[in-house]
Amino acid sequence: MAILPIIETPDARLKQISAPVETVTDAHRTLIADMFETMYDAPGIGLAAIQVGVAERILVIDLQREADDTPEDADPDKIVRVKEPRVFINPEIIWESDELSVYQEGCLSVPEMYADVQRPAEIQVKWLDEQGKAHDEKLDGLLATCLQHEMDHLNGVLFIDHLSKLKRDMLLKKLEKLRRSGRAA
């Protein structure tokens, strides 16, 4: 496994539409393992293949949670996390609720920037896993939001594209200022 470089805005590759995976191969499974390692190292909860320079419809998500026996006053650096890795190949939303939810989103390709984004609260999704097995499931909460965020990457859309031009421009100026100061990659 390897930690891959994460592409950041304004790299034009992030605006590319990713191609469907025809057949899931060992090369895809290696990429998926590398994507998880990269995401955990960043750290993040989701990563699309295009963010590491591969324009294929593959994404990984792990919302992780604290172990059930973690004391409330635990040192943040020593909190045990339960990993729940999920792989989505060729994900497709086949239904979405009229009800919307708002989450403060961030992105590894737009480092240290966060904004509220409104998305459907529930979605029905079909996809393939890393073995090529088909799945169809209704998702809600943070998983639904994260999946929609990562699926946007597959279509060349960043979370900041859901913001007003004014808010997007403000975030991009703030990011550029952080980069100039050396505090952002």
Render 66-113 in DSSP notation, one character per residue: E-TT--TT--GGG--EE---EEEEEEEEEEE-S-EEEEEEEETTEEEE
List, in order of start, the domains of the chain with CATH numbers. 12-70+80-181 (3.90.45.10)
Question: 84: exposed, middle or buried (C-beta count within 10 Å: 0-12, 13-18, 19+)?
Answer: exposed
Among residues 24, 37, 68, 59, which one has the least CA distance to residue 154?
59
pTM beyond 0.85: the answer is yes
Distance CA(18)–CA(156), nearest Å, equals 8
pLDDT value of position 134: 98
Distance CA(49)–CA(68), nearest Å, equals 31
Count the neighbouring beta carbons within 10 Å of the beta carbon of residue 68. 7
- Lookup result for tokens 């979370």: 159
Residue 27 in tokens: 């090369």
pLDDT value of position 182: 78
Residue 150 is a catalytic residue: yes
pLDDT value of position 55: 98
Per-residue pLDDT of the chain (185 residues; tens, 9 = 90+): 899 999 999 999 999 999 999 999 999 999 999 999 999 999 999 999 999 999 999 999 999 876 666 667 767 666 666 889 999 999 999 999 999 999 999 999 999 999 999 999 999 999 999 999 999 999 999 999 999 999 999 999 999 999 999 999 999 999 999 999 876 65
Among residues 92, 107, 139, 137, which one has the least CA distance to residue 120?
139
Query: Of the residues 56, 84, 150, 176, which is catalytic?
Result: 150
Of the chain, the end-to-end C-alpha distance in Å amounts to 23
